[in-house]
Amino acid sequence: MKTGIDCLLNPDSVAVFGVSEQEGKAGNSVVKHLLDGSVRFYGINPKGGTLFGNTIYRNVYELPEVPDLAVIALPAELAPEVTRACAKRGIGAVIVIAGGFGEVGEVGQKLELELKKAIAGTRTRILGPNTLGVLIPRLKLDTIFLPSSHLRRPKEGNIAIISQSGSGVMGALDIGAFYGVGISAFVGLGNRVDINENELIEYFADDPHTSAIGMYLESFVDAQSFVDVCRKVSPHKPLVLVKAGRSSAGAKAVALHTGSLAGSDRVTGGVLSQLGVFRAYDDEELLDTVRVLAHAKPLTGRRVASLSGGGGTGVIIADYVEAKDKGIAASLATLDPSTEARLAKVAVPYASVHNPIDLTPAASRDMFDSALEILQDDPGVDVIIFGLMYHTEKRDDYFTERLCYWGKQGKKPLIVAAIGSETTMHAIRSMEAAGVLVLPSFWRAVKAVDVLAQRTEFIRRVNSLRHVDSVPNSLTTEPVFVPIPGTPLAEDEIKAVLRERGISTPESILLPGGKLPAEIPLAFPLVVKIRSADVFHKTEMKGVELNIPDLETLEKTVAQMNLRFPGQDLLVERMEPSGVEIIVGLIEDGTFGLSIMCGIGGILAELYQDVTFRRVPINQLDADSMLRDLKACALFEGFRGINANREAVIDLLLKVSSFGQDLRGHIDQMDLNPIIVHEDKAVVVDAKLIWRVGTKA
């Protein structure tokens, strides 16, 4: 028997409730679209009769068969009852189009509850309410009530689009359709009373018609499941997400640095990177990215050959490829001398055969054809961007045909950048139809290279992960010091816990009540700090004295501290020699749960906000990629003779992640700041921890 999702996305028959003769009504346009389709159609209306020559049934029981799918094109208040009838009749899936549910307040929320009750204990699944429904061009299944005069329907293709909002992706689909972009499916999630994004990702992961999945979400129904399903799917099928609402996702309470640097969107970015899910910021970028991933050949490197028939075109492409300020990690390929010689032989005399290659507007189609052939053989070229200029009469259908040939048959990925009106649009449609990747701006074409390169990098990472222990546990022996969640921990207590996990901290002694012992078993220079589980900003309240050179100064300092903070315990610690300062933290994110942060420390770093996040637990490759995320990552690669041990930082991140994992659910925020990274080790100089409110003391 078909599953509910199968009934929704691959139905043999569909019934529509609320069919109508009245133009402009949902029950009218949906019928028209479905009558055009290849799925058996039944119209239902209590009045019966016929519509467009089809028998109209009075209710679900009159239908000659149990349809796989029902579309309810009725007002919100009627939907629960009809859904109940569908469930009773054993229909696999129901689409509730109407708005006026959870999004409008209490009355609507009640209706949503009724919808859920209507299918409880049955096989029936609900898509929506408040949804455009589904569009499967392959089956000509189209439940979208918007007129195709206003919203063009994409043709059949190999990308699936899942969207929580109609308006969030409609514009891109509409103009995409105009350019001939195809889709395997569009599914509008609406209010998600039942079917959600995670099930759909799993469905499309197995769908042979789908090569890549694009999503627009304003929230996750279940972030844990989303993480699980993405982790499973993304190595096999590319995923792209617009996570909208990032500006309104309030930042975390800023008690600690980790909190102030988090902001839910930074964590989201880190987690998506960890999962190999691509990020887009609007509908246009979503469609671009998912198409790039679905269409282009995999990239082996980032060396771009630019080929065009106009100098300016090539220069703009070259500028974007090389300009590091635009965030593109690519470079212009250095062509082999033999490539240049061969190009010169086929080109007009004043063509430029250096990359960016400019064959000039005078170039014939055969010259371009030859150039594309020649570039296939250059081992220094990873990808070709073709800057299409369709503005001379030389660029005809045969020219397009040859481009399509090389796009399909060539060994190297080909990305076409084409900008222009009707003639260009005609060429774009031909290339789309041939499955050639074509983007309507230079910038979007260059971004495509970056997307493909990132995908290659992710797959490489996934493959190498198979040879790496997944998540190490840093606790090998029974811990001496077991933190009790909820009990405030002083700095030395946190450090004791960290040391048990193999994390370095400076040697220290505790001075209870601020009393100096007869002997100080620590080498100078030293540091004196007040010791409290409640004081987080020691420095600001003058509770820290650094660089104490000798016993005399130490005694003076301790005396001053005792005056300033009478009876307060003090901590005396060896002053850590200077090195590269970093910050590592843990934070309970509102969406993704416990997450780990790594960033460059110090005051400048705070200004540049050079930090990155991942979800706990992380593995070694996650830790490695965190370091590579940092703009100042060169600090760990011998920049200006600095010796900061990269492996020590990775080791530390894994241990902190493991610590977080063990105490998951209890930690709200933890700051290890600063951590000083030396040639041989990373030492945690200060540590703060805040338990989650509500955690039992």
Interface positions, 146-185, toward a copy of itself (CB under 8 A): 146-147, 149-152, 163-172, 174-175, 177-178
Q: Per rule CB under 8 A, is residue 330 in the interface with a copy of itself?
A: no
In the complex, minimum distance from the CB of residue 179 to a copy of itself, in angstroms, rounded to a whole number: 9
Residue 44, φ and ψ in degrees, nearest 5: -125, 130
Angle between helices 197-206 and 223-233 (to 10 degrees): 10
In the complex, minimum distance from the CB of residue 555 to a copy of itself, in angstroms, rounded to a whole number: 20
Q: Per CB under 8 A, which region of 199-207, 460-468, 596-604, 685-693 contacts a copy of itself?
A: 596-604
Nearest one of 70, 137, 124, 121 to 97, comparing CA atoms: 70
Q: Per rule CB under 8 A, is residue 419 in the interface with a copy of itself?
A: yes
Beta-strand (E) ranges in 260-301? 278-280
In the complex, minimum distance from the CB of residue 542 to a copy of itself, in angstroms, rounded to a whole number: 13
Q: Per rule CB under 8 A, is residue 552 in the interface with a copy of itself?
A: no
Q: Give the up-direction half-sphere exposure of residue 194: CA atoms within 13 A in the CB hemisphere.
A: 28
* Binders in 421-440 for a copy of itself, by CB under 8 A: 421-424, 440
* Binders in 5-44 for a copy of itself, by CB under 8 A: 24
Which listed residue (3, 54, 225, 360) binds a copy of itself by CB under 8 A?
360
Residue 143 near residue 97 (C-beta atoms within 8 A): yes
Which listed residue (41, 390, 406, 613) binds a copy of itself by CB under 8 A?
390
DSSP state at residue 255: S
* Binders in 518-537 for a copy of itself, by CB under 8 A: none
The DSSP string of 396-437 is -HHHHHHHHHHHHH-SS-EEEEE--SHHHHHHHHHHHHTT-E
In the complex, minimum distance from the CB of residue 579 to a copy of itself, in angstroms, rounded to a whole number: 12
Helix (H) or strand (E) holding 51: strand 50-51
Q: In this structure, what token pair is assigned to residue 408?
A: 């399909």
Q: Which residue lies nearer to a copy of itself by CB, 122 or 352? A: 352
Considering CB under 8 A, how many residues would be counted as binding a copy of itself?
96
Residue 560 near residue 529 (C-beta atoms within 8 A): no
* Binders in 221-280 for a copy of itself, by CB under 8 A: 242, 244-248, 265
Residue 132 near residue 115 (C-beta atoms within 8 A): no
Angle, alpha carbons 143-145-146 (nearest 5°): 125
In the complex, minimum distance from the CB of residue 290 to a copy of itself, in angstroms, rounded to a whole number: 16
The DSSP string of 372-399 is HHHHHT-TT-SEEEEEE---STT--HHH
Q: Per CB under 8 A, which region of 52-60, 77-85, 356-364, 366-374 contacts a copy of itself?
A: 356-364
* Binders in 607-636 for a copy of itself, by CB under 8 A: 607-608, 610, 631-632, 634-635
Distances (CA, A) of 218 to 210, 221, 247, 389, 591: 23, 10, 11, 39, 12
Q: Per CB under 8 A, which region of 297-305, 358-366, 459-467, 472-480 contacts a copy of itself?
A: 358-366
Query: How far is it, in rounded angstroms, from Cα 54 to Cα 314?
Result: 58
In the complex, minimum distance from the CB of residue 640 to a copy of itself, in angstroms, rounded to a whole number: 6
In the complex, minimum distance from the CB of residue 398 to a copy of itself, in angstroms, rounded to a whole number: 15
Angle between helices 283-295 and 442-465 (to 10 degrees): 60
Which listed residue (640, 693, 694, 697) binds a copy of itself by CB under 8 A?
640
Which listed residue (47, 58, 104, 487) binds a copy of itself by CB under 8 A?
104
Q: Which residue lies nearer to a copy of itself by CB, 136 or 316? A: 316
In the complex, minimum distance from the CB of residue 264 to a copy of itself, in angstroms, rounded to a whole number: 12
Which listed residue (64, 90, 105, 512) binds a copy of itself by CB under 8 A?
105
Q: In this structure, what token pair is assigned to residue 252?
A: 């975390």
Q: Which residue lies nearer to a copy of itself by CB, 172 or 572? A: 172
Q: Per rule CB under 8 A, is residue 283 in the interface with a copy of itself?
A: yes
- Residue appearing with tokens 């590592």: 584
Q: Which residue lies nearer to a copy of itself by CB, 202 or 265? A: 265
Residue 452 near residue 292 (C-beta atoms within 8 A): yes
In the complex, minimum distance from the CB of residue 277 to a copy of itself, in angstroms, rounded to a whole number: 17
- Residue 354, SS3? coil
